[in-house]
Amino acid sequence: MTMPSWKKYGVTAALFFFCFQAQAAAPDPALTARLAAFDGWVASRMAMERMPGMTIGFTRGGVEWVQGYGYADLENQVPATAVSSYRLASVTKPMTAVAILQLVEQGKVDLDAPVQRYVPYFPVKPFPVTVRLLLGHLAGIDAYRDRKTEQHFKEYKNTRQSIAVFEHFDLIAEPGTRYRYTSYGYNLLGAVIESASGESYGQYMQRHVWGPLGMTATMMDDPAAVIAHRVRGYGLVGKELKNSEFVDVSSRFSAGGTRSAVPDMLAFGQGIHDGKVLSPASLALMQEPMVTRAGRLSDYGMGWETYPTGGRYVISHSGQQPETATYLFSFPSRKLTIAVASNLERVNTAAFAERLFEVVTGEAWELKPYIAQANAQLYGQLAQGLFEEGRAQLEKTGQPYTVDPAVTRQAFEQINRQALQQDDARAASLFIADARHPAGGRVLLTAGSSMAARLRQAGIDLDKYSSSGPLAFVRDYIMLSQAAPAGKVPRFDRSFEQAMLKLAASWDRTAAVAWPAQPGAVAQLSKQLETAFLNQLAYPDFMAEINALAQASSGRGDSTEALAAGRLAVALYPLSDRAQALHGILLMSAGDHVASIAALRLALARDPQGAASATALNNAAYRLKASGAVAAGTALLQAAIQLHPRDANLHDTLGSFYVEQHLPAQAVQAYRLALRLDPGYPGADGARAVIARLDNAH
């Protein structure tokens, strides 16, 4: 562990810079003490994740703190520091979006022009592909098709060669109709920047984005260049750390071809807050989630993920690539930026950023109470949605979504009619899921932001709900509305009010129960938590912590303790799809296929789009393979196919697992079945290439 880098800025007649050394007093002693405790948490988490090195930091209110942990180079025992240089991966995308919007402001780019106006060599597609839709991943551009080739380029590719990789791919959907995250779309945006500016992508970014923001460590990644403080990248193969495969990322130039240090990531976030590189109108545009033609939010704006978390207004972007994993969080209303970069592939860097947020702010990252009664779970969903959408809106704009009282009352009436008086819980749940989207009238945003505004008018500090959560938020509004003169304040259905008051009272009794800093044996932990939550209607959801506990146990080879963690999950949270799925996956790893499939079926019944969906199980199988449990991952895929027999991607993944296990006949069979199910699924071209290669080999 290396010493932290502290910066303190003060403004008088000029800008002064003070650097606090280890022996000097930090700007905030209380924060310094919390950061010292954070060091211990990081060390424990890094050991669990087998992480070689990481750098993390924040900037807020003129104070910047950056710290390196572990090693930038394991072989030579070079420590990771505040200035270690990591591949940024997809954290490049919001920077590219800034450049596009700058060119829009200069009149050099039209957001609604076909991309061929700027990149004439890109083939015309059956539908127009516009710059605006490319920024939001709504342009119908596909992602990697032949991953074995496209994700493993060893040679340098210029812009034209990078576009040639995918230019003849068919669109996967009519632009505007489907969100599909893709680096190829952002490569096209890089070509637009070059055409409109007359400069190379790297030159433009240096002159107009990185340079003006003081990002002196940010550059295009170049394997031949001598780059100060360059880290060495690693991956886990089973339980063993290996040097990362060399991949030249020039083919991802404007989507993920850059390298930087955490202080520069923070400077970018701060520059966004301060409006140094874009006008207020452009900043608002890039932070607004895009909407499909069917009226569904994509939760992605122009270069930023935009989903509210913990009732907060937050924009963010993650990055995953050979040699690196990164995350950048920006809280514009709070002038807070948090950045993290690791030299281990596929690690969950968000967990470190979330913990640092808690240390810096004193707030819980996210509170999602578990509702222990099946007939009240719907109320928990509704409370969570109202809180997330409503409070985030107040934090973002300071105002409710609408000031029209008729529109607000209509939103409450829809909730009362369609969510709270439904005999069909499934239909009510679907209504709540749809109610956050424009197609559903933004009902949750309308009602939730009205609730937040009225609570604030009543003198309640909305920040308190970061520590008390959605049940308290809705409870307080109900009490306020009950005390108001009849007809003055919109009210919920009376049965909902009564149920919510009971849930909130139970939550008040359990919310203080904390996950232990150093959990001991699962048996003892089970006794403590089951006793604390006995006969309660609402209590903290510790599924993330239980999952981490199971992962740590598996990582050290203790399958008995891992399975005990799975049993704890279903004992505490029997109505949770995540709990049932975790238990099912752990049972599969333990070789109990019958019990595993039963648990996964139960998880799927709890939530068809949740932890036992085809996508979730596919990702879980990859995680098992990455941990060295290839056989368990293969068995999980086979179980997933039983649950989702017509999902082509599951068959495709199973084929790739068979290839790695040198089972060519089974691999060909799996790939052919995938192609029969869907000849045009995203991995179809790659599947055909593998089939041809395996057939030729025999």
Whole-number percent of the chain with pLDDT over 90: 82
Same domain, 651 and 603: yes
Q: What is the mean pLDDT of the chain?
A: 92
Do 392 and 457 belong together in one domain?
yes
Residue 146: which pLDDT band, with cuts at 50, 70 and 90? confident
**Looking at the domain assignment, is residue 663 inside a domain?**
yes
Domain count, the chain: 4
DSSP for 17-31 reads EEEE-TTSPPS-HHH
Q: Is 221 within a domain?
A: yes
Indicate whether 445 and 323 sit together in one domain: no
Flag whether 162 is in a domain. yes
Is 320 in the same domain as 356?
Answer: yes
pLDDT of residue 424: 81
Confidence bin at 27 (pLDDT 50/70/90):
low
- For position 11, what pLDDT does the model report? 29
Residue 245 has pLDDT above 60, yes or no: yes
**Measured between alpha carbons, how far apart are the two ends of the chain, in Å?**
53
Q: Within a domain: residue 81? A: no
Residue 7 has what pLDDT?
55
- The answer to whether the beta carbons of residues 636 and 624 sit under 8 Å apart is yes
Asked if pLDDT for residue 159 goes beyond 80, the answer is yes
Q: Of 480, 510, 540, which residue constitutes the final position of a domain?
A: 510
Can you list the positions of beta strands (E) in 507-645? Answer: 538-539
- Residue that finishes a domain, picked among 341, 361, 381: 361
Residue 79 lies in a domain: no
In a domain, 80, yes or no: no
Extract the tokens encoding 300: 């992605």
Whether residues 102 and 160 share a domain: the answer is yes
473's CB contacts (< 8 A; 6+ apart) are 311, 383, 386, 387, 390, 391, 451, 452, 455, 465
pLDDT band at 173 (very low <50, low <70, confident <90, very high): very high
Q: Are residue 424 and residue 531 in the same domain, yes or no?
A: no
407 lies in the same domain as 453: yes
Q: What percent of the chain has pLDDT over 70?
A: 96
Q: How far apart are CA 187 and CA 178, in angstroms?
A: 19
Q: Are residues 190 and 298 in the same domain?
A: yes
Alpha-carbon radius of gyration of the chain: 26
Q: Is 20 a residue whose pLDDT tops 70?
A: no
374 plus 346 within the same structural domain: no
Write the CATH number for 667.
Answer: 1.25.40.10
Mark whether 200 and 250 lie in a shared domain. Answer: yes
The model carries a pTM of 0.91
pLDDT in tens, 211-244: 999 999 999 999 999 999 999 999 988 778 999 9
Q: Assess whether 476 and 576 both reside in one domain.
A: no
Structural domain including 109 reads: 87-361
Q: How confident is the model at residue 698 (pLDDT cuts 50, 70, 90)?
A: low
Which CATH number goes with the domain that contains 255? 3.40.710.10
Residues 474 and 554 in one domain: no
Amino acid at the residue 416: N
Q: How confident is the model over 78-96, as a mean pLDDT?
A: 98
Task: Let me know if residue 499 belongs to a domain.
Answer: yes
Helix, strand or coil, per DSSP, at residue 56: strand
Q: Name the pLDDT band for 505 (thresholds 50, 70, 90).
A: very high
Q: Which of these, 376, 338, 387, lies nearest to 496 by C-alpha position?
A: 376
Kindly report, residue by residue over 408-435, the tens digit of the pLDDT: 999 999 999 999 887 788 888 899 999 9
Task: Indicate whether 544 belongs to any domain.
Answer: yes
